[in-house]
Homo-oligomer: A and B are copies of this chain.
Amino acid sequence: MLKLGIDLGGTTVTAGLVDENLTLLGSLTWDTGAVASIDALETRIAALCDALLEKFWVPRTRIERAGIGVPGAVDPATGVVGMLSNLALTDWRAAEGLSARLGVPVRVDNDANAAAYGEVRCGAAKRARSAVCLTLGTGIGAGIVLDGKIYHGVNGAAGEIGHRSFVPDGRACACGRRGCWERYASSGALALDAADFCRTRPDSGLARYLRQTGGAQAVFDAAQAGVADAQLLLERYFGWLGAGVVDVIQIFQPEVLVLGGGVSRQGERLLAPLRAMADEQEYTRDARTRTKIVCAALGGGAGVLGAALL
């Protein structure tokens, strides 16, 4: 029997087929489209799943269950999504609605949680009893897996670690607070900082990379190529990211801390400075057992895999 995993984003939605060996057999991504109602959203998701089954010649009867990760706060017990970020839809009875359309039981969770669960079940934190997975994107999302189970908190909204105070009275954040960590340590923040820098220095080496690649990737590429401005920017970024990573370790002491999102492709270039900071600053730097800091292994597939296994 196969499982369906669905990863719903603000702009795209991906569905994938997962087999009993936890292998992602194949997937299909569509634009989320301008869905104006819950009904339209459910119709679009069901159509995507139909197209996926057709593409891989899989009859519906081989699907035993489905799971979906959504960008919003979810009550995992009821499968109700309180609010969908980016899609302006509220009180979506997702488990009920999708289950009726797909004809199989559907589990629902937050997208960061689903991705974290994917990494714990078959990725970078495989077999770890506890893991915190940070996704560095426009913001910083966190999925917390403790004792093999996703930790949700009392209202399904645990893990908003991107919105922890990092600099008192610091940069304004869309959440209403000032100085949130994600305004400094997300890859979005790094990209913005680089763009800010280049606005006044359009002829700098970094600006040339930024025009070519764009975003956080450009800063890593430029630093790698020896552009001093990029190296300085990155050093400051690592300081901000590392301080928060050490904080996560002080608080959770998870078996594994996974860094996901686009910048996790940097591998050791990202990990080495963070591990050095942990060796210096961790309260438990001399302990026999310490948190392993690793990069995500499943890339974009984590969300689909995790959702299928919910």
Contacts and interface: CB of A to CB of B under 8 A. Distances in A.
Q: So how many copies of this chain end up in the complex?
A: 2
A128 to B, nearest CB: 9
Interface of A is mostly: loop
A276 interface: no
A157 B73 contact: no
Interface stretch (A52-60, A191-199, A242-250, A259-267): A242-250
B287 A159 contact: no
A246 B176 CA distance: 13
A257 to B, nearest CB: 10
Given A165-B243, A168-B167, A281-B177, A154 B250 contact: no
A34 interface: no
Is the interface on chain A under 10, 10 to 19, 20 to 34, or 35 or more residues? 35 or more
23 contacts: A82-B287, A130-B153, A146-B151, A147-B147, A153-B252, A154-B289, A154-B290, A155-B253, A155-B290, A156-B253, A157-B283, A158-B251, A158-B252, A160-B251, A160-B283, A160-B284, A165-B243, A165-B246, A175-B283, A176-B280, A176-B281, A177-B246, A177-B281
Given A152-B253, A154-B290, 4 more contacts: A146-B146, A154-B291, A155-B287, A160-B251
